[in-house]
């Protein structure tokens, strides 16, 4: 296994070609010059009902989101012992906490006395223990009961018998994965090792959370995902923002298990750029990862965008957007750069990509189309749906 050289915590580094994994470098070297790019014509479609049918949504929930580990947050959100966050993005109230031992664990956000929520906000926070706001039962970040007020009034109470309900959980490659159903056993071995290698090369597990925003969208989760699987929309939907930065050509695609890595040269890309010593590789090359089933990772020169798309209904998706930087800003120039970048990317994703998903949902819900069709610049969308449908058994 070829791992890139690990980067020490808080080490300042420019992401160069040499800092990437061997697989990432090979994909970048395979990008042709724009005038030699070839676009295939394809014939592909899917029924419009996959975005609107409640029965289809229920089947996805049963066979995908309940059956597989799903991303719940990023390591950067809870980087230190005592850090924790609560979320209900998937329709379950869950606490994710990093214990004193550095291990990340996930629990249902319910006191083991009478079920009261222990944490009522969704912002990252720090605590040495969890205290129920109702009767002040106290729990460690390992889920064990630490204290019960007036314990002598509970006949035969054994604190060891009433820990918080724990969910299976694994931290890998800077992503925290959970199994949503505490009555199932999950196979975390299906998580692709190359993804971990790639994300270690980005230093993703040790990046700084600069900004986070949660979007509640009136759109099917797949419509939210689709723009990040294709370049067809970029020069059109983003014509007034980032579109001019990108060429209207296909990406170099690598399938990493069920995950899709797209490697794209920007508008000014030429292969000789790759040999400039010390050059920030993300100024000329963009990586976009679709991590199965519902995580998106997109690189930029000075930050990485993360999106967890949590389906809540056939026409509703909660998107947890996180902007990660290689270090916290420590001077006014860095703060200005990150702040401007954060405002820009929220406008692009929120005001353009997410808006496109919502207006598509409105149109499809009208019954106007029996199916949707895809072109050669959208080829990874039907590829993704093939993997999704295989998981669903259809």
**CA gyration radius, the chain:** 22
Burial bucket for residue 320 (CB in 10 Å: 0-12, 13-18, 19+): buried
Least Cα distance to 220 among 349, 320, 317, 290 occurs for 317
236 in the same domain as 289: yes
Residue 253 falls inside a structural domain: yes
- Kindly give the interhelix angle for 193-201 and 22-29, rounded to the nearest 10 degrees: 80
200 in the same domain as 169: no
Note the Cα 135 to chain centre separation in Å. 36
Dihedral sign of CA atoms 211, 216, 217, 223 in order? positive
Contact 333, 349 (CB under 8 A): no
Q: What is the pTM of this model?
A: 0.94
Residue 306 falls inside a structural domain: yes
Burial bucket for residue 121 (CB in 10 Å: 0-12, 13-18, 19+): exposed
93 in the same domain as 199: no
State the CATH number of the domain containing residue 239: 3.90.380.10
d(CA 44, CA 383): 10
256 in the same domain as 348: yes
Residue 75 falls inside a structural domain: yes
Could you read off the pLDDT tens digit of each residue along the chain, which spans 394 residues? 333 433 343 445 689 999 999 999 999 999 998 888 888 999 999 999 999 999 999 999 999 999 999 999 999 999 999 999 999 999 999 999 999 999 999 999 999 999 999 999 999 999 999 999 999 999 999 999 999 999 999 999 999 999 999 999 999 999 999 999 999 999 998 889 999 999 999 999 999 999 999 999 999 999 999 999 999 999 999 999 999 999 999 899 999 999 999 999 998 888 888 988 889 999 999 999 999 999 999 999 999 999 999 999 999 999 999 999 999 999 999 999 999 999 999 999 999 999 999 999 999 999 999 999 999 999 999 999 999 999 999 9
Strand order in 316-325's β-sheet?
Answer: 208-217, 316-325, 304-313, 295-299, 285-291, 259-265, 252-256
353 in the same domain as 218: yes
Note the Cα 348 to chain centre separation in Å. 17
143 in the same domain as 122: yes
Least Cα distance to 44 among 393, 392, 391, 389 occurs for 389
Q: Which of 135, 167, 189 is where one domain is finished? A: 189
Dihedral sign of CA atoms 123, 125, 131, 133 in order? negative
| Residue pointed to by tokens 């916290």 | 328
Please give the residue range of the domain that contains residue 43: 17-66+192-392
Q: Which of 167, 189, 211 is where one domain is finished? A: 189
Contact 225, 290 (CB under 8 A): yes
Burial bucket for residue 331 (CB in 10 Å: 0-12, 13-18, 19+): exposed
215 in the same domain as 179: no
334 in the same domain as 205: yes
| Residue pointed to by tokens 């014939």 | 43
323 in the same domain as 342: yes
> Which pLDDT belongs to residue 340?
97
Least Cα distance to 150 among 164, 160, 136 occurs for 136
**Which residues are CB-neighbours of 34 under 8 A, at least 6 positions away?**
247, 249, 265, 267, 269
Count of domains for the chain: 2
Q: Which of 154, 189, 224 is where one domain is finished? A: 189
270 in the same domain as 226: yes
Count of other CB atoms within 10 angstroms of residue 185: 7
> Which pLDDT belongs to residue 273?
86
Rounded to 5 degrees, φ, ψ at 346 are: -65, -40
Contact 79, 210 (CB under 8 A): no
Residue 224 falls inside a structural domain: yes
Query: Residue 19: CA atoms inside 13 Å, Cβ hemisphere, count?
Result: 20
Q: Which ranges in 132-285 belong to alpha helices (H)?
A: 193-201, 221-225, 234-237
> Which pLDDT belongs to residue 1?
33
Contact 167, 180 (CB under 8 A): yes
219 in the same domain as 78: no
State the CATH number of the domain containing residue 115: 2.102.10.10
259 in the same domain as 333: yes
């Amino acid at each position: 296994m070829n791992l890139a050289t690990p980067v020490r915590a808080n080490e300042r580094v420019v992401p160069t070609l040499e800092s990437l994994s061997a697989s990432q470098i090979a994909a970048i070297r395979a990008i042709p010059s724009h005038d030699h790019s070839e676009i295939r014509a394809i014939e592909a479609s899917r029924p419009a009902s996959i975005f609107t049918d409640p029965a289809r949504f229920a089947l996805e929930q049963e066979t995908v989101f309940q059956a597989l580990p799903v991303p719940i947050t990023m390591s950067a959100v809870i980087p230190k012992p005592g850090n924790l966050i609560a979320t209900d993005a998937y329709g379950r109230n869950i606490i994710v906490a990093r214990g004193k031992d550095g291990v990340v664990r996930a629990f249902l956000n319910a006191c083991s006395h009478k079920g009261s929520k222990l944490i009522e906000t969704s912002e990252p926070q720090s605590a040495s223990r969890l205290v129920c706001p109702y009767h002040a039962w106290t729990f460690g970040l390992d889920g064990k009961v630490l204290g019960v007020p007036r314990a002598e009034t509970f006949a035969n109470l054994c604190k060891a018998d009433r820990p918080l309900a724990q969910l299976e959980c694994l931290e890998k490659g800077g992503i925290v994965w959970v199994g949503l159903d505490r009555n199932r056993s999950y196979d975390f071995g299906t998580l692709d090792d190359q993804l971990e290698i790639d994300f270690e090369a980005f230093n993703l597990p040790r990046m700084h959370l600069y900004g986070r925003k949660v979007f509640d969208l009136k759109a099917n989760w797949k419509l939210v995902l689709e723009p990040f699987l294709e370049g067809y929309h970029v020069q059109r939907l983003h014509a007034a923002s980032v579109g001019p930065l990108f060429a209207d050509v296909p990406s170099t695609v690598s399938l990493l298990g069920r995950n899709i890595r797209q490697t794209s040269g920007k508008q000014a890309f030429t292969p000789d750029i790759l040999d400039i010593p010390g050059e920030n590789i993300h100024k000329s090359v963009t990586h976009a990862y679709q991590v199965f089933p519902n995580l998106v990772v997109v690189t930029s020169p000075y930050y990485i965008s993360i999106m967890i798309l949590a389906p809540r209904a056939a026409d509703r998706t909660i998107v947890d957007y996180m902007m990660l930087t290689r270090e916290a800003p420590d001077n006014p120039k860095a703060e200005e750069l990150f702040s401007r970048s954060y405002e820009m990317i929220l406008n692009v994703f929120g005001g353009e990509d997410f808006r496109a998903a919502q207006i598509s949902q409105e149109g499809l819900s009208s019954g106007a189309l029996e199916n949707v069709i895809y072109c050669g610049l959208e080829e990874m969308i039907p590829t993704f749906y093939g993997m999704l449908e295989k998981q669903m058994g259809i």
